[in-house]
Structure 1
Amino acid sequence: MADPRGQLRREIRRFWGALGSGSDLGEAAGEAGVAVRTAYRWMRECGGVRAIRVEEPSAYRVGFEDRERIAFGLAAGWSFTAIGRELCRPTSTVTREVRLNMRHRRSRRVGYDGSLRGIDWIHDWEYLPSRAQLRAENAANRKQQTKLTANPRLAEEIQSRLDREDSPEQIAHRLRIDFPDEEEMRVSHETIYKELYVQGRGALRRDLHQKLRTGRAVRRPRSTVGARQERGRIAGMVNISERPEEVEGRAVPGHWEGDLICGSNNASAIGTLVERATRYVMLLHLPTAHGADAVQDAMVEAMSRLPQQLRRTLTWDQGKEMSNHVQITAATDLDIYFCDPHSPWQRGTNENTNGLLRQYFPKGTDLSGYTADYLEFVATRLNTRPRKTLDWRTPAEALDELLSNPPQPAVAVTA
């Protein structure tokens, strides 16, 4: 027996479940088996806030399959006890389910001769599984009075603070401080967000979403940290926690930090390498592409110009442009380590250098138009600029000094 309403709810449930597990809108729509336009409409209608329970209904509740078997048993003339035994459920469960969802039906019986003479009306009752399922789902997802609707004073307080452009999290915590003895004046920031995003709640003005820092009227689904890290994880990468301790001391040359600076719409990029001890800079020319293959070729070419003692380690973030790190290590004998996600301070020297480079490569420009000669010119300018951190020496001078007088390894002294 068809259950179109139940099918729709299952599709919506699969959609929100996929979003919660880290899928984007298109992937979640494919998981639910609907068009992207349909999935986007679902999001707009509920402001990006989950519309129904994502979890599957509890096995203890009567489901659609159970209701179909109840209808079959009633048609076959089974007793409630026999139906309950078939479903492995108490007889009282079957009795309550049937009595709640039985519908009165009146049909007419035509005479034996096919005429309407002697017409008689038959009164009986019928149980429809699809109708019972729809009624149960509507009851489970019925609109309930929200906390702000039930407490106008709290809603007015939140509304005034949103007008002051306080964030929902700030409001939730300040209410606990400003009203320490009034439990009814407490609310979670998640409740405030739902009141702002979900249409039809009415406790807060609809235009107040403009007071949020994002200004969005629809909540943007965010994947979980684990799903985000797993989906963007580079195969075989070695974490920065396994990097040798000598890198932190900056006494030994040959330990590099790297990244890409990107142009307008991330359509172009330039690779940046900076040596930790001396702040010596090298730039990678990427005129046509900045994917894994292009970065590998430019990295191998640049590192091959350096002596072996200047090729020890490289620290990079978890960008996909370093997917070929194994091939780079094999070609250059350079050990590559990856920072933790969203931790730019773990390669702070490179971040600082990228800020200096923006003087020559402004944000929002097309970086593919710069020639290799110009990149060499910019690198020379930075390498011959006095640096406070080097006691006003230049990176080129510091590098020459380290190469001429390499630090001597510590010798253990025994009594």
Structure 2
Amino acid sequence: MDDPARLREPIYLDYNATTPVDSRVVDAMLPYLTRYPGNPSSGHCCGTSPREAVTAARSQVGSIVGASGADVIFCGSGSEANNLAIRGTVLASTAARRHVVTQLTEHPSVLAACRSLERLHGVEVTYLQVDGDGRVDPQVLSEVITPRTVLVSIMHANNETGVVQPVADLARIAHDRGALFHTDAAQTVGKVPVSVPDLDVDLLTIVGHKMYAPKGIAALYRRPGVSLEPIVYGGGQEHGLRAGTENVAGVVALGTSAELAARELASGRAEELRELRDLLFRHLEERLPGRVQVNGDREHRLPHVLNMSLDGIDADELLSATSSSLAASTGSACHAGGTEPSPVLTAMGVDDRRARGTLRLSIGRWTSVDDVERAAHLIATAAASYGAP
């Protein structure tokens, strides 16, 4: 597959932030922006093609996670899907079941949803610590669940470190104690095999712009029988849980991207990405001996993500020095006019100095060996200018 011209410069190593839109996805969308403008809810002929397209996309999205299309609820973003899963579950529960368990390295949309439930509805939330590798210990979860626990929400893989959580083990503990389980799988669906029967989850978040569809479209898998309070009230679309006329072009894009990703997974692309990631790491280790430290579990992590700290550097300054040639993320975030270390790294026990020297390099569909080698050269050259730590 040809590398899109827009990605040739700078070298794009920020696929976890967002993926470029695949041209095949654009082609699938276009008819629903031009030839088929009808409302899927319309009873006349102009609603037929959009309605059929939405149904087909629902099946495509369900298929990539081993579910029925009937269990897929389309949303406007992963953050919205997470809010529907968390707030929807709690607000549909009885007053006797108002305890939620999550963990400190979740996506901000999960943490903010939980905090809003604490603030507005008096819900008790337990925030689990992670170990130095960024993983939740199932035993710790088993110790905090109570008869009041209605939901456990633990992400499938972390967006910064790529660390994969033991979701199946955690879900089993939740179910044994009568709680539902939600996982934010924004970073895993389409990147590695994901199966809701194997994970045994009740709710699972899927995000389009993490797998080569446009921004503004996502989905929530809901196990049959799970009750949710709607996130948007209105005309009854999306099983009455998310009112509003469907974004047909976006829905088609998500369905198409799911089908393309499923084919790619079947072809062994995940292993190819793992080899590219490891090649990038080896090049950096060779160029910067003793200065490269991987953050997060080395075994349980996504094949396309390298989160590493470079001793003796400031990652923001390093990226600024390469900004016209390399697009990547760092281990700090803008906050109140300054920068703060990543909360994810802090929760893992990474000190401020090391966090500020952290880069997140994430590769994807159009990353080549040449990209990896050039990126390693750019990073190592910039880092060398700092000298030995």
- Fold shared, TM-score > 0.5 on shorter chain: no
Question: Which of 1 and 2 has higher RCO (CA within 8 Å, sep 6+)?
Answer: 2
Higher strand share: 2
